[in-house]
Amino acid sequence: MRENRPAMGHSRAGHGRNRLREIAALTAAAVALGVAAPLASATAAERHTTAPLAAPASATTEPGPGLDELENLEEEAAFAGLEEALRLITEIPDPVLAKGRAATEQWLQARLGDTAGEGGGAIQPMKFSAGGCARGILLAVGSNILAIGKIYKVKKAIDKLGGVKKVVKKIQDKKKRGKKSFKKAIMEVFEESGTGIGAIAAEILGVDQVIKHCW
């Protein structure tokens, strides 16, 4: 019996060490899972997050240089294009803007009479045959350059300033009196709405697609 005791002691010690190794392994696994789970969740969230209303970083910093091109146009043509662009923005219904980019695209496509674009399909600019300014804004919205929220803010600012005609007249007056650039005059007029969106208004009107199609 005495000869067996050391063996039993070794057996118990071995069992204890195995148990400790199992506990250590389980603890390590639990820690690993605890770290991996949040990372997996964050990655999944990034994969499934869509930002249809967000504009690229280049379109959210400063007004684009596109408005500088208006300085080379005859004044009458420049202000005619400006009025057309602002009027189109005010005509997009609030419920359409509230539904987001796809609904806004569909509304603009309907405005163009583009039956090929029904059902929210891909934008096909070569099939458009009318409404140049609407086409330009549609292309900018579809390429995710123009955020719908910004269009809505500019629309509301135009209302606060008394409508498109008054906004255009204010911009004309600022250019004549202060010899300001189109960009500067547009920013200052929209700042008068008290909404702090002067830069946003200049940004929207200065997008390449808008400049090319509304003027």
Q: Could you report the per-residue pLDDT of 159-169, keeping only the tens digit for each?
A: 999 999 999 99
Q: What is the mean pLDDT of residues 70-84?
A: 89
pTM: 0.62
| pLDDT band with cut points at 50, 70 and 90 for residue 187 | very high
Rounded mean pLDDT, 126-137: 63
At 197, list the tokens: 């969106």
pLDDT at 112: 83
Are the C-beta atoms of residues 29 and 120 closer than 8 Å to each other?
A: no
Statement: residue 140 has pLDDT above 70: yes
